[in-house]
């Protein structure tokens, strides 16, 4: 008897019992269920929630793998064992050691994220007696990609528990939450443990430990890994080129550095009709418009280089797309089908405001120059309101047409 037959046989024993949701989750993860929908009231399509989530995960995997490599590369670069000027095609540049360092530091983040999050999902499913939902499959992958590489695992576990329970389960589970769970987790981390989510030490593996050893009296060289946004927020010239920013060889959250892979992921999600191109495009347009406004303020002479806002205000408007997590947020966070606007016109408004507010926060809050995640959370709250007024506007137009026809 094969595994599939054994599972089908065991399923009958669990029917009606307390642990049935947990068993069914494992069963449907391995094999498709036997049940099919009957009747003419259902739309029969090939995709379902699990396939949708798996498609997003496939788009995220390249960012994860590159993030692992970049974590090791930034570590050895900070130690001086790799020179930034080395050839892109040199063997030392693509050393296995770079990937190995990233693997042993980032893989535990993935394991903790999925382990804690899915355990809570299973627990709530068993308590409430409903099927385990697949909504956390994408959240579990997103969380390790939007945090610093060396964040303590216990902090991540606490944040994941908070995000899943407060950000989703209290609203009724997958499909009912008003805030993106992954961003709720990141917001919790930032406000609860700010020293681990900002500064020039948290983005490079080993920098925090090295700082502690130096403070204890060890004669060691300090490791620093200031991000481009951090440098600009302090009116300093960034140490990285636009090419580095585009390819991703810069310090930052694990998955946000490679703009090339994020763009390829966006194209994949648009091609598979999983991600909304309207939200992605409007978010970029909103960021560019706000960037242009700030550039205009600088060009008009209303602000000079003595201002603490000058560095980010004077940054060419299109370069805002190459620094920080704006593109990552636009592609993988803003397009969340549960928390985003549902109407086509609403998606344009929703995305534009995300991009606009992101640059606004980035410029006017030098202590936290990465504003895209806060902007998305803010617009998650207003998305239903936007859709409401779009729908009401359409109703008024139709009523007006009806009056004209009957007049």
On whether the CB atoms of residues 126 and 21 are closer than 8 A, the answer is yes
CA distance 253 to 330: 15
Write down the pLDDT at residue 185: 94
Q: How confident is the model at residue 225 (pLDDT cuts 50, 70, 90)?
A: low
Write down the pLDDT at residue 189: 93
CA distances from 86 to 28, 66, 89, 94 (A): 49, 18, 8, 11
17: alpha, beta or left, given left = phi > 0 and alpha = psi -120 to 50? beta
Write down the pLDDT at residue 117: 92
pLDDT > 80? residue 119: yes
Q: How far is it between the farthest Cα atoms of the chain? A: 88
For residues 191-205, give the mean pLDDT: 84
pLDDT > 70? residue 145: yes
Write down the pLDDT at residue 66: 93
pLDDT tens digits for range 11-33 = 666 565 655 555 555 555 555 55
Write down the pLDDT at residue 38: 57
Write down the pLDDT at residue 259: 95
On whether the CB atoms of residues 64 and 144 are closer than 8 A, the answer is yes
Mean pLDDT, rounded, of the chain: 83
For residues 214-233, give the mean pLDDT: 67
For residues 205-226, give the mean pLDDT: 64
Q: How confident is the model at residue 305 (pLDDT cuts 50, 70, 90)?
A: confident
pLDDT > 60? residue 220: no
pLDDT tens digits for range 363-404 = 988 667 678 999 999 999 999 999 999 999 999 988 888 888
Number of residues assigned to the chain: 407
CA distance 264 to 272: 12
CA distance 62 to 53: 16
Write down the pLDDT at residue 292: 96
Say which range, 30-34, 321-325, 330-334, has the weakest mean pLDDT. 30-34
* Cβ neighbours for 263, distance < 8 A, ≥ 6 positions apart: 327
Write down the pLDDT at residue 125: 77
* Cβ neighbours for 259, distance < 8 A, ≥ 6 positions apart: 245, 246, 247, 248, 321, 322, 327
CA distance 257 to 240: 12
CA distances from 182 to 49, 142, 185, 302, 303 (A): 18, 6, 5, 39, 37
Write down the pLDDT at residue 240: 81
Q: How confident is the model at residue 93 (pLDDT cuts 50, 70, 90)?
A: low
> Any idea where the domains of the chain sit in the sequence?
49-274, 276-407
CA distance 36 to 23: 19
Say which range, 117-121, 122-126, 275-279, 370-374, has the weakest mean pLDDT. 122-126
For residues 249-277, give the mean pLDDT: 94
Structure tokens of 333?
């966070």
Write down the pLDDT at residue 381: 95
**CA quadruple 234, 235, 237, 243: dihedral sign:** positive
Write down the pLDDT at residue 218: 61
Write down the pLDDT at residue 124: 81
Exposure b/e, 218-243, CB count within 10 A at least 16 = b: eeeeebbbbbbbbbbbebeebebeee
10 vs 287, higher pLDDT: 287
* Cβ neighbours for 232, distance < 8 A, ≥ 6 positions apart: 238, 311, 312, 315, 323, 369
For residues 177-185, give the mean pLDDT: 92
104 vs 224, higher pLDDT: 104
Q: How confident is the model at residue 174 (pLDDT cuts 50, 70, 90)?
A: confident
Q: How confident is the model at residue 276 (pLDDT cuts 50, 70, 90)?
A: very high
CA distance 90 to 183: 38
Write down the pLDDT at residue 343: 95
């Amino acid at each position: 008897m094969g595994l599939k037959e054994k599972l089908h046989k065991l399923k009958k024993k669990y029917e009606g019992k307390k642990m049935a949701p947990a068993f069914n989750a494992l069963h449907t993860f391995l094999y498709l269920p036997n049940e099919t929908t009957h009747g003419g009231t259902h739309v029969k399509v090939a995709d379902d929630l699990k396939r949708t989530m798996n498609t997003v995960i496939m788009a995220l995997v390249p960012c994860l793998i590159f993030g692992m490599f970049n974590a090791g590369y930034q570590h050895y670069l900070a130690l001086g064992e790799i020179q930034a000027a080395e050839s892109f095609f040199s063997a030392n540049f693509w050393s296995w050691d770079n990937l190995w360092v990233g693997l042993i530091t980032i893989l535990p983040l993935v394991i903790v994220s999925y382990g804690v999050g899915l355990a809570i999902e299973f627990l709530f499913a068993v308590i409430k007696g409903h099927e385990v939902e697949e909504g956390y499959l994408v959240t579990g992958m997103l969380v390790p990609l939007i945090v610093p590489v060396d964040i303590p695992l216990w902090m991540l576990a606490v944040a994941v528990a908070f995000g899943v329970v407060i950000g989703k389960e209290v609203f009724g589970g997958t499909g009912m939450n008003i805030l993106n769970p992954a961003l709720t987790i990141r917001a919790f981390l930032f406000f609860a443990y700010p020293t681990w989510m900002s500064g020039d030490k948290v983005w490079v593996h080993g920098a925090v430990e090295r700082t502690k050893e130096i403070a204890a009296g060890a004669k060691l060289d300090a490791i620093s890994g200031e991000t481009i946004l951090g440098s600009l927020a302090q009116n300093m010239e960034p140490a990285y080129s636009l090419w580095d920013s585009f390819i991703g060889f810069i310090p930052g959250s694990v998955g946000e550095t490679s703009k090339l892979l994020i763009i390829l992921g966006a194209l994949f999600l648009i091609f598979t009709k999983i991600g909304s191109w309207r939200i992605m495009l409007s978010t970029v347009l909103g960021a560019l418009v706000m960037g242009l406004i700030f550039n205009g303020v600088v060009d008009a002479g209303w602000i000079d280089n003595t201002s603490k806002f000058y560095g980010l205000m004077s940054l060419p408007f299109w370069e805002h797309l190459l620094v920080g997590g704006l593109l990552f947020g636009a592609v993988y966070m803003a397009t969340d089908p549960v928390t985003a606007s549902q109407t086509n016109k609403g998606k344009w408004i929703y995305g534009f405001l995300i991009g606009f507010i992101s640059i606004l926060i980035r410029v006017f809050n030098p202590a936290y120059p990465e504003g895209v995640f806060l902007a998305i959370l803010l617009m998650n709250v207003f998305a239903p309101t936007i859709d409401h007024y779009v729908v009401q506007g359409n109703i008024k137009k139709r009523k007006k047409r009806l009056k004209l026809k009957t007049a």
